[in-house]
Structure 1
Amino acid sequence: MRTRHWSALLGAAAILTAATIGLGWGDRGPVEGAGPAAASPTLSTEHRGALLAASAVVRKAGSVRLSVADEAPWSSTGVFHWGQSRTAELVRKRDYDDEQVAMRVVDRAFYIGQSGEGWARVPLGADSGKEMDPVELGAAQIAVFWVIDPLFQLDVHGRLGSVVRQGDEKVDGALAVHYRSTVETFEFVEAIGDDLSLARQLGVRLALHRRGNTMAADFWIGPSGEVLKMAVGLPTQRDVSSEVRYSDYGRATAVQAPPPAEILNPNG
């Protein structure tokens, strides 16, 4: 393993992800079907109940695999696992040389690593010890793990969202009900709660506010009540939605922290 300073690794990996996993696709345009152009949408607080019902299904499943719409030669995949604590991983891989950047959230810590360079660890909670500037490069990447988490999004929009039923649509051959919802950005960040220290919450809020004072999410809920697809706006992008597809509910195992020997010393 090559040796790199902790801050240099965090910066390089964050820059690479900012140009890739939904953090810099600036000219791709909105995801098809993610806008408000559906025929005769209906707005009602009753539709919050549909999102909360889907949340219960996802929570019972306990885990899910995901893929993020990407451009060749890159592919982005990940895992969420909800148990006593939430663990997650998102990996972006370049097909022709296996170069990859991986991000993980395990035990109230965020990890970001680049192929052969080791891992930078950024504590998230109030007991984090080393606090960094709230506008650090890592804030947008940390925010991603709440934006693409289907369980968190369903919970927040089910409780607080202005939910519009867009209609019935097909997702990979399955009939799904399409809902679109918006929440205030500050409410979204507040819902994260104690999982982030105050400094981290500020950094995440600043990253998310680059898209405006409200956050939108589109949900396609399948016949079994599980979310098949979401369209969400990721940090640092304006007027662009990224499509995330979910599969293999209940089949993924918990994500582990990187081996201690691969974690770089922030004071080194």
Structure 2
Amino acid sequence: MSKTAWKRAGVSATAIAMVVGAAGCGTESGAQERTVTQALTASYKKTEKARTVEVAHEITFKNGPKGDNGTAKISGVQGWDPTLMDLTMTGGGELFGAGSGGPEKIRMKWVDKALYMDMGAEAAKDMDGKRWMKMDLGAVAEMSGEKGDKELQKQLTGGLDSMNQDPAQQMALLLESPNVKRVGEKKIDGVRAQHYRGSLTVEEMLKAGKTLDLLDGKERKELLDGMKASGVKTYDTELWINEDDLPVRIEVSMKMSDGDMDMVSTYSGYGVEVKVEAPPAGQTVDMMEMFMDLGKAMEESAPADEPAAEGEPATGADETPIGDELEKALKDLEELGVDVEGDPSLQKELKELEQAEKDLKKAEAELKELEGSTATG
């Protein structure tokens, strides 16, 4: 996946979690606003208690920086408190960085704070026969926290950590807006539902106050941080709530730093049983382990056992050229979609490693010259 693809995946994950109220026109009376607020608050409470739901999303990307537009369909089940997800995506492989040769369907699981993606049999050929790719967001946060590298964490997660926000949290955020508007009544799949419409900016999100008191401090911080990391600038929302105070349909239009996204979502089966199991370790490639391997390749520029002959690359104890090891590690990361060239921290480490190799070659040349002088002397 490219950096844009990871961000898109994270933005979609954020949007998928949105069972939202909406902010908008601001022309209703105070009494009507209170009625809308009461309705959305009731829906918030019912949604929070449900904890699971069956979902179906149709996501369309437009105005992408490289013309990479298109539509993806995602369906399955998800849960919150604890966060669980088992979704299947069709038609969106290229949008999310799987490439033109990627699988027609990609299954995504979220369990134990980790995201797993089934990249298909073709991708498994380049991953030692393993078809599942794992991103442990807890490990990403720990690594970036230790090194203070927030830019690296942002690139790796692309907002994917925002998936741990449940729909009730998103509704609590939008309830803060003073301009919620009820449009009317409409039947959705034969079910009567109340229709709400509006828009919200990131600035309004960040100014949210009293309504977010429904969330504890950690939940509120995760919610706002996730929205900022996803690159969302504004979004327009259409929301339908049924007679049981549960959202049944949401239409969201988002303006983002990497293009625009429209999503139509339908929800049913609140409270359905959800069981998600992680794929077997033997069938999984861990992205964090890939980064650890790259880090070792960068940090370990061991001196050669013997001085290299002129024109030959320096080698370590295993007789493998250092440059070859680095090139292989970089290739592995690029195949997993890591934007090596676009990451300042990785580029800095690469330059340091290149300088270390130059210093090593210079030292070897001086040693060879010294040995030659000793022999003739």
TM-score (norm 2): 0.50
Q: Name the CA distance, whole Å, in 2 between partners of 1:68 and 1:142.
A: 19
Tell me by how many angstroms 1:65 deviates: 1.0
Query: Does the C-alpha gap of structure 1 residues 186 and 100 become closer, same or farther in structure 2, counting only changes over 3 Å?
Result: farther
**Cα RMSD between the aligned structures?**
4.2
Matched, 1:226 2:246: yes
Q: Name the CA distance, whole Å, in 2 between partners of 1:104 and 1:197.
A: 24
Q: Is the 8 A contact 1:14 1:141 kept in 2?
A: no
Structure 2 residue identity aligned to 1:106: V
- Determine which structure has more spread, i.e. the larger CA radius of gyration: 2
- Residue ranges of structure 2 left out of the alignment (5+ in a row): 14-21, 61-69, 93-101, 125-130, 145-149, 294-377
User: Secondary structure of 1:258's partner?
Assistant: coil
User: Secondary structure of 1:178's partner?
Assistant: strand
- Select the structure that is richer in strand: 1
Tell me by how many angstroms 1:216 deviates: 4.1
Q: Name the CA distance, whole Å, in 2 between partners of 1:65 and 1:13.
A: 29
Match of 2:205 among 177, 182, 185: 185
Structure 1 residue identity aligned to 2:37: R
User: Secondary structure of 1:154's partner?
Assistant: helix
Deviations 1:195-237 (A, max 9, x none): 6998x975751433x424xx44332001221110112245556
Matched, 1:122 2:146: no
Q: Name the CA distance, whole Å, in 2 between partners of 1:103 and 1:50.
A: 33
Structure 1 residue identity aligned to 2:180: V
Partner of 2:189: 172
Tell me by how many angstroms 1:159 deviates: 4.6
Q: Name the CA distance, whole Å, in 1 between partners of 2:85 and 2:216.
A: 15
Superposed counterparts of 1:71-90, under 5 Å: 74-83=72-81, 85-90=82-87
User: Secondary structure of 1:168's partner?
Assistant: strand
User: Secondary structure of 2:142's partner?
Assistant: coil
Q: Is the 8 A contact 2:53 2:267 kept in 1?
A: yes
User: Secondary structure of 1:136's partner?
Assistant: helix
Tell me by how many angstroms 1:239 deviates: 5.6
Deviations 1:12-53 (A, max 9, x none): 69738949x969xxxxxxxxxx9979xx86661431221121
Q: Name the CA distance, whole Å, in 2 between partners of 1:193 and 1:124.
A: 19
Q: Is the 8 A contact 1:88 1:104 kept in 2?
A: yes
Structure 1 residue identity aligned to 2:52: S
Tell me by how many angstroms 1:106 deviates: 2.9
Q: Name the CA distance, whole Å, in 2 between partners of 1:63 and 1:150.
A: 10
Superposed counterparts of 1:210-221, under 5 Å: 210-212=232-234, 215-221=235-241
Query: Does the C-alpha gap of structure 1 residues 143 and 187 become closer, same or farther in structure 2, counting only changes over 3 Å?
Result: farther
Q: Name the CA distance, whole Å, in 2 between partners of 1:136 and 1:159.
A: 30
Q: Name the CA distance, whole Å, in 2 between partners of 1:203 and 1:150.
A: 13
State how many pairs are aligned. 237
Match of 2:42 among 53, 72, 77: 53
Partner of 1:256: 277
Q: Name the CA distance, whole Å, in 2 between partners of 1:141 and 1:211.
A: 17
Match of 2:90 among 89, 93, 105: 93
Structure 1 residue identity aligned to 2:252: V
Match of 1:207 among 230, 236, 250: 230
Q: Name the CA distance, whole Å, in 2 between partners of 1:187 and 1:134.
A: 25
Tell me by how many angstroms 1:255 deviates: 3.0
- Residue ranges of structure 1 left out of the alignment (5+ in a row): 1-10, 24-33
Partner of 2:359: none
- Select the structure that is richer in helix: 2
Q: Name the CA distance, whole Å, in 2 between partners of 1:145 and 1:231.
A: 21
Deviations 1:137-158 (A, max 9, x none): 6324444664xx5322223223
Higher relative contact order (CA 8 A, sep 6+): 1
User: Secondary structure of 1:151's partner?
Assistant: helix
Work out the percentage of aligned pairs sharing the same amino acid: 20
Structure 1 residue identity aligned to 2:241: I
Structure 1 residue identity aligned to 2:113: R
Q: Name the CA distance, whole Å, in 2 between partners of 1:192 and 1:110.
A: 24
Partner of 1:194: 218
Match of 1:158 among 169, 175, 183: 175
Q: Name the CA distance, whole Å, in 2 between partners of 1:70 and 1:102.
A: 16
Structure 1 residue identity aligned to 2:228: R
Q: Name the CA distance, whole Å, in 2 between partners of 1:192 and 1:134.
A: 24
TM-score (norm 1): 0.67
